[in-house]
Amino acid sequence: MRFAISLLLVLAIASIIGTVLKQNEPYPNYLFEFGTYWFDMFRTLGLFDVYHSLWFLVILLFLVISTSFCIIRLSPIMLKEMKSYRERSTLSSLRHFRFRQELVTSLAPEQSVRLMDKVLAGYGYKSRTQIRKTGQLLAAKRGSWNRLGYILTHSAIVIICIGGLIDGNIPLKVDQFLGYKRIETRDMPESQVPSVSRLGSNNLSFRGDVTIPEGSSADVIFLNVANGYLVQELPFIVSVKKFIVKYYSTGQPRLFASDLVIQDKKTGKSKSVRLEVNHPLTMDGVDIYQASFGDGGSHLHFLVWPLTGASTLTTPLDGIVKHHEPMTINGHPYAIEFDDFRKFNVEDLSQGVVKAPSSFMQNILSVFSPAAHKDQELRNVGPSVQFKIRNAQGEAREYLNYMLPITLGGHSYFLTGMRDNPGASYQYIRLPLDDNGNVNSFMQLRAHLDDPSAANGIASRFAKKALAGIPNMQAMKPKLAQISESVLALFRQGGYNALAGFISKDVPQNEQENAAQTYLKVLQGTALEALNEVIPPGTPIKDKASFVRDSLNAMNDSFLYGPPVYLQLQSFKPVMATGLQMTRAPGKYLVYFGSLCLVLGIFAMFYIRERRVFVYASSDGKVLFAMSSSRQTLDFELEFKKLSNIISKAFADNKEL
């Protein structure tokens, strides 16, 4: 038993590792977090999937074996004890009981024993009588089922573990170990996966996932194993008609459901069903669950705006989520990979920034777990699209664009986020919109400022207007125009950084701060002039000064944005995909049966108390009443007192017969 308890403790500690270290993440994530040395170490120890590692299963197996031995060894003894009345107890041994009482009666021994038999029977005791030379012994017991508790609880642990081991893919582990099955790590169409990585539909137990777009079907699922997967064939074909999300009035999701048609491969019969979270479906012994959702290839239509040069000429672009499109930007070839589209984005705007929408994995969590925090300002900010732009060298940047204007601090913007590695958070550029919610004004202004041939004209007009009405400053006009033009040229080349570089190089240190202020004012004034020149009459922009500031910020940020294009999402046709989890777990019936045994056993162990009562009536009229229990608690003391009073009273009431 000590061995078993030590194993239990090792199991508990091993389990802790699995909760602290995130399990079953993609290997690169671990590599990134721990470095090569620890990654190799952890992988060798199987810490990325503790609960299925060989050593964990071996401990479980040992636990099963050791507990089984315990049961085999102790059960016969327990059963014997259960049946036994211990009627061989001698008078001298009874005299050593801690709880005993001696009485004197005028009744004959057989009468005393009969009286006691009746009294004790009234309290649920069963008894045996034995006739001795010097009198009679009544041996009674109650609560023998207590011992069954031991057998039940320990068997339960064995049964549950066996059930768990059956469902824990032991046969697959063996096949893998012997080389009959191999994990596939390559990314390829399902039909090309070789048979060594495929499992037949007669597989005893499995648990895997598949994502099926609306209007498509699947007859396999994927089992994630270590850093790859296996293909599990199904005895039926699942077709997805529609994926449904419904929301509460508060914006939280209320329902995730899929309308499916399932066709049995053998009989060819098909049936239509609706699958919901918490309402799984069983088909040919396979349980089907609504587990997640995502995009299943939505059709997207974009307008591509240039972010450099004097042109505002847009080109249309069509894309499908999970597909990629070639594209030429400024003469260089690129590929645009459309990763994800989300129709609704409930975001917390209380911090003034938008967080990245959740990945597919997090969508799974949003099916399973609760909505966000209470003290947040949750708002649906409308559709978003996530895509990558990859250059000819294979380097990619990831973008996140929101379709609808987002109001921050009283002004409307188009938000576009960029990041250059998947682990980073998005850096957002805010493209200011005019009061019609149009990005055209900003684009016109940007093109005008980016046009070197227009700079001279803007600068001189700016200088003229700035100095108009100040008679003694008219001589400054050419000087101001020159400053304006060169500030604009610097900004065009490298944004605020270029300006700062120029100031720190060419301006004496003690004047730098003043110069920076002045240059910024000139830049903003020049840009305001440019704005007034390009925007078509009638375009409402209430706060031109802040529009210009926002525009300059956006232009400045676009230097780090990557390929200089902005993809404005114009329209879409959503196609959802549903994420189904399918399991076959025959071990569960064993586990449930074991659980029932466990509860009954624990109940029997704690709440059925074994008590034994012995009454020895000697021929000389002395009666010895003794009581024992496997567990001597306070309650037992009270019970002894109560029972001994009852017995005294019974003898007192029956002095003569």
Partner 1 sequence: MELVHESKPALLRELRLGDWGYALVWLLGCLYTLDKFGAGMNVYSKGILCAASLGFIALGWFWKPFRLMCVITAVLSLFAIYEYHGQIASAEQELWLKYLLGSQTAIMWMSFLFVLATLIYWVALLGRSEFAGKFASVLTWCAVVMGLVGMLTRWYVSYLMGPDIGHIPISNLYEVFILFSFMTALFYLYYEDRYESYQMGAFVLLVIAAAIGFLLWYTFDRHANGIEPLVPALQSYWMKIHVPANFVGYGSFSLSAMLGVAYLLKSKGILADRLPDLVMLDDVMYKSIAIGFLFFTIATILGALWAAQAWGGYWSWDPKETWALIVWLNYAAWLHMRLVKGVRGPILAWWSIGGLMVTTFAFLGVNMFLSGLHSYGKL
CA distance 483 to 466: 13
User: In degrees rounded to 5, what are phi and psi of residue 80?
Assistant: -65, -45
Q: Position of tokens 């240039």?
A: 306
Inter-residue contact 485 to 456 (CB < 8 Å): yes
CA distance 600 to 149: 7
Among residues 121 and 174, whose Cβ is nearest to partner 1? 121
Q: In Å, how far are 110, 572, 650 from 655, measured between CA atoms?
A: 14, 100, 9
Among residues 19 and 191, whose Cβ is nearest to partner 1? 19
Among residues 318 and 635, whose Cβ is nearest to partner 1? 635
Give the pair of three-digit tokens for residue 308. 């450099």
User: In degrees rounded to 5, what are phi and psi of residue 21?
Assistant: -90, 125
Q: How far is the CB of 377 from partner 1 (least distance, A)?
A: 12
Inter-residue contact 462 to 525 (CB < 8 Å): yes
CA atoms within 13 A on the CB side of 558: 25
- Kind plus residue range of the DSSP H or E element containing 601: helix 587-607
Q: How far is the CB of 1 from partner 1 (least distance, A)?
A: 7
Q: How far is the CB of 375 from partner 1 (least distance, A)?
A: 5
Among residues 281 and 483, whose Cβ is nearest to partner 1? 281
Q: How far is the CB of 291 from partner 1 (least distance, A)?
A: 6
Q: Position of tokens 């986020």?
A: 417
* Three-state secondary structure call for residue 531: helix
Inter-residue contact 301 to 570 (CB < 8 Å): yes
Q: How far is the CB of 515 from partner 1 (least distance, A)?
A: 48
Determine the angle formed by the axes of helices 145-167 and 587-607, rounding to 10 degrees.
Answer: 160
Q: How far is the CB of 51 from partner 1 (least distance, A)?
A: 5
Q: How far is the CB of 535 from partner 1 (least distance, A)?
A: 45
DSSP per residue, 201-236: TT-S-EEEEEEEETT-EEEEEEEEETTEEEEEEEEE
Among residues 180 and 607, whose Cβ is nearest to partner 1? 607
Q: How far is the CB of 374 from partner 1 (least distance, A)?
A: 5
Give the pair of three-digit tokens for residue 111. 């009468």
Q: How far is the CB of 112 from partner 1 (least distance, A)?
A: 10
Inter-residue contact 169 to 206 (CB < 8 Å): yes
CA atoms within 13 A on the CB side of 383: 17
Inter-residue contact 568 to 289 (CB < 8 Å): no
Among residues 366 and 438, whose Cβ is nearest to partner 1? 366
Among residues 111 and 314, whose Cβ is nearest to partner 1? 111
Among residues 126 and 254, whose Cβ is nearest to partner 1? 254
Among residues 256 and 462, whose Cβ is nearest to partner 1? 256
